[in-house]
Amino acid sequence: MAGRVTGKVALITGAASGLGAETARVLAREGAAVLLSDRDPAGEAVALAIAAAGGRAAFLVHDVTSVADWEAAVARAVADFGKLDVLVNNAGIGSSSFDLMTGSLDDWRTMLAVNLDGVFLGMRHAGPAIAAAGGGAVINLSSILGKVGLPGAAHYCASKGGVLMLTKAAALEWAPLGIRVNSVHPGFIDTPMVSNAIHASENSNEMREMLIMAHPVARFGVPREIADAVLFLASDESSFMTGAELVVDGGYTAR
């Protein structure tokens, strides 16, 4: 039986672990050829495991803030798999608390460089390849913190809010090209990035419980729940969706 994205080629950034790695596994199981990219070379092992399970996968080291790296990533996808249909802009960073009165411009710029500039560069360089393939889908990973604020996270909120509005503008601009552009807004997901942020806090156990209880379902999400949302947006099942915000947050933003 054909999978939900059989015949498609997807480039997934930040795919060495967490949401990116699970998204690559899910898309590959559903028939896509996947190019994983990450600054962390551990992504090679993820790609090899996908291939060992019968999927089509490759990996390259990729800094999403680098124009040259983006050019190489798109060229590699086309060289290895013949085209590019789907871009998943997943790579992103978090950080410890950022105080607006004392936070440094360097910390601000680093956050926006990865979380927002990296998404723009991905669209700028992958967009022409997707258009050349006859159209496809771009899925940008934003956050609930691109929709609601959080004290001590102004730089992160700004970066993810920027992703939301960049997505909407791109959806309008690229609709005539047959390229759908949507954003996914996860709640707190049980990933290394979330765990590291909690451990870095002064009262990690209290922080974890507070964040869990901020979700009406009373738990963190798991990577598969976000990967399944990306799969839907990458597939033809979402063919009438563009410029949309797919919120997967256990009810966090419903309060």
> pLDDT tens, 126-151?
999 999 999 999 999 999 999 999 99
| Cα–Cα dist 147/246, whole Å | 11
Within-domain flag for 164? yes
Within-domain flag for 201? no
Within-domain flag for 217? no
Annotation marks residue 252 as catalytic: no
Alpha carbon 85 to its chain centroid, in Å, reads 16
CATH number, residue 75: 3.40.50.720
Q: Could you tell me which residues are beta bridge partners of residue 30?
A: none
Distances (CA, A) of 125 to 66, 158, 183: 11, 23, 18
Within-domain flag for 203? no
**Which domain does 49 fall in, by range?**
9-190+222-248
- 214-250 residue pLDDT tens: 999 999 999 999 999 999 999 999 999 999 999 999 9
Number of domains in the chain: 1
**What is the pTM assigned to this prediction?**
0.95
Alpha carbon 63 to its chain centroid, in Å, reads 14
Which of 70, 81, 98, 156 is catalytic? The answer is: 156
